[in-house]
Amino acid sequence: MKIGFIGTGNMGNGMVRKLMNLGHELTVNDRRQESTANLVELGAKWAESPADAARGNAVVISSLPGPAEVDEVVLGERGLLEGAVPGTIYVDLTSSLPASAKRLGHILESRGVTFLEAPVSGMISGVVSVEEASLSVFVGGDQKAFEQVKPLLQAFCANIFHVGDVGMGNVIKLTNNMISLGSRVLIQEALAVAVKAGYDPMQVYEMWNVSSASKWVQEVPRWLDVPDEVKNPSFSLLNSAKDVGCCVEVSRELGVPMTVGAAVSQVFTRTVAAGLGGHSPVATLLQVESEAGVRIRKGK
């Protein structure tokens, strides 16, 4: 199948390679042309713009940082809409606001393009999950189009869910990320309390690990080795802040109080404001340390 792929960063690059390994013809586009160099060497075609990535391809896939970037790729100058034709299927793997996905879906539908939102999640590092084809994906949109692209998603996803209309997929993705990221912050703050009281952090973990908190604290030993500089991650803290903020926004739209979630979002906002947005999501630990006036990690 001829496929256009827009966004060949850490995760997108691996996805393209997986699709090429299955014999598909890929046309690739990214803001940074150098991020597509290895793919072109493998036989992919370079597209100068999202419009060129869409032109002549039955399916177009994108993997982008957030809803603003998706809007630019689809609706901007030389955007996807300029190259797509009626019958094109556009699959967006980006974590986004459900309302943004619905709005984009209506615009694309008016042009005869079928839109599927398909945010992905991995049990482990996103890049590793791609390489192991172990991602989960939550697809919202037309059932028939979903069945057509499902074999493509199977190239890098182990768990594929069709969850209903456009918008529903991102509800699952955002609530999932709020749980995983929010619980991490709660554990980091509890750890700061124990360490400031005089406990060694590993000793605290060993006691938690045989108590009722056990299932939630398995990452603690890894956090103790986190360096001051945790840059160039496969998924940045800035993107994590975006996801928890989007989840809070959805809760407001639905009239659901999210008191704890709003507090979590503020922790991520403060961590980004401290200049740690380019670090991995675990960098909230650095912010917790700073605000508590305590060193939890090893070293000085």
> For residues 125 and 234, is the Cβ–Cβ distance under 8 A?
yes
The pLDDT value recorded for residue 203 is 97
Q: Which DSSP symbol is given to 281?
A: G
**Strand, helix or coil at 159?**
strand
**Overall residue count recorded for the chain in this entry:** 300
CATH fold match for the domains 2-165 and 171-292: no
How many angstroms separate the most distant Cα atoms in the chain?
65
DSSP-based three-state secondary structure for 300: coil
Give Cα separations from 54 to 57, 81, 228 (angstroms). 6, 8, 42
What average pLDDT values come out for the chain (300 residues) when binned by 10 residues? 95 95 97 95 97 97 94 96 96 96 96 97 69 92 98 96 97 97 97 98 98 97 83 81 97 97 98 94 95 89
What local confidence, expressed as pLDDT, does residue 53 receive?
Answer: 97
How far apart are alpha carbons 221 and 296 in whole angstroms? Answer: 11
Q: What's the fold here for domain 2-165? A: Rossmann fold (3.40.50)
| CATH no., domain 171-292 | 1.10.1040.10
Q: What 3-state class would DSSP assign to 138?
A: strand
Helix axes 98-110, 168-196, angle to 10 degrees: 160
Closest by CA to 90, choosing from 66, 116, 110, is 116
Residue with tokens 């793997």: 93
HSE of 154, CA atoms in CB hemisphere, 13 A: 7
Q: In the 8-state DSSP scheme, what is residue 224?
A: T
pLDDT value at residue 98? 96
Q: Which residues pair with 4 in a beta bridge?
A: 27, 60
CA–CA distance, 54 with 34 (Å, rounded to integer): 20
Q: Are 96 and 67 in contact (CB under 8 A)?
A: yes
> How far apart, in whole angstroms, are the C-alpha atoms of residue 163 and residue 98?
13
With tokens 């030993």, the residue in question is 221
Cβ neighbours for 224, distance < 8 A, ≥ 6 positions apart: 201, 202, 296, 297, 298
Domain boundaries, the chain: 2-165, 171-292
pLDDT of residue 227: 81
The pLDDT assigned to 116 comes to 98
